[in-house]
Amino acid sequence: MSAPRDGYVGPNGENVNAVENFWRHVKCSIKGTHVSVSKRYLERYAKEFEYRFNRRMTPEKMLSELLSRFPETVA
């Protein structure tokens, strides 16, 4: 059974596919990697997933971008 088109797509073509895709990735990662998440740290997990999800098309840049946020130390 398919849903009516106007139930999932707005008048300007907007939809919720990206949001549903994001939460699918979050749930799969929790089940596969973290097994469980406490309510205390849920926001931190969500921020991590947001960071990874927004950079999923360029994973080779993630490490250098992350490291650039830390100040260099002079020995």
Instruction: Specify the higher pLDDT residue, 72 or 2.
Output: 72
pTM here?
Answer: 0.62
How many separate domains does the chain show? 1
Residue 73 falls inside a structural domain? no
Q: Is residue 56 part of a domain?
A: yes
Say yes or no to pLDDT of 1 above 60. Answer: no
| pLDDT in the model for residue 58 | 92
CA distances from 36 to 39, 40, 48, 62, 63 (A): 10, 12, 15, 25, 25
48 located within any domain = yes
Which pLDDT score is estimated for 4?
Answer: 54
Tokens of 33: 């990697």
Question: What is the per-residue pLDDT across 16-74, written as a single tens digit (0 to 9) for each?
Answer: 888 888 888 888 888 888 777 889 988 998 898 898 888 889 989 988 998 898 887 76
The answer to whether residue 74 sits within a structural domain is no
Q: Which domain holds residue 24?
A: 5-68
